[in-house]
Amino acid sequence: MALQDKYQELITAATASAVNNLQVREQDGVLYIDGEAPDGKTKDMLWAVYDKLDPNFLSGDLVMNINVAVSAPVTRAKVTTERSNLNIRKGPGTDQPIVGKAAHHEVVTVVSQSSDLWWLIRTADGEEGYAYAQYLTPES
Q: Using one digit for the tens of pLDDT, what is the confidence trace for 39-94?
A: 878 888 998 899 899 887 778 899 888 888 765 555 889 999 998 999 999 888 88
Q: Return the CATH number at 49.
A: 3.30.70.1770
Between the two ends of the chain, the Cα-to-Cα distance in Å is 51
- State pLDDT tens for residues 8-51: 999 999 999 999 999 999 999 999 999 999 887 888 899 889 98
Please state whether beta strands 30-37 and 62-68 pair in parallel, antiparallel, or not at all (unpaired): parallel
Read off the amino acid at residue 138: P
Query: What is the reported pLDDT for 31?
Result: 94
Total of domains in the chain: 2
Cα separation, 8 vs 125, in Å, equals 31
Cα separation, 82 vs 116, in Å, equals 20
Co-location of 45 and 89 in the same domain = no
Query: What is the reported pLDDT for 72?
Result: 53
Q: What is the pTM of this model?
A: 0.64
Within its chain, how far is the Cα of 79 from the centroid?
18
Query: What is the reported pLDDT for 22?
Result: 95
Determine the structural domain holding residue 59 and report its residue range. 3-68
Q: Return the CATH number at 106.
A: 2.30.30.40
**Which of 78, 64, 86, 75 lies closest to 113, judged by CA?**
75
Co-location of 82 and 25 in the same domain = no
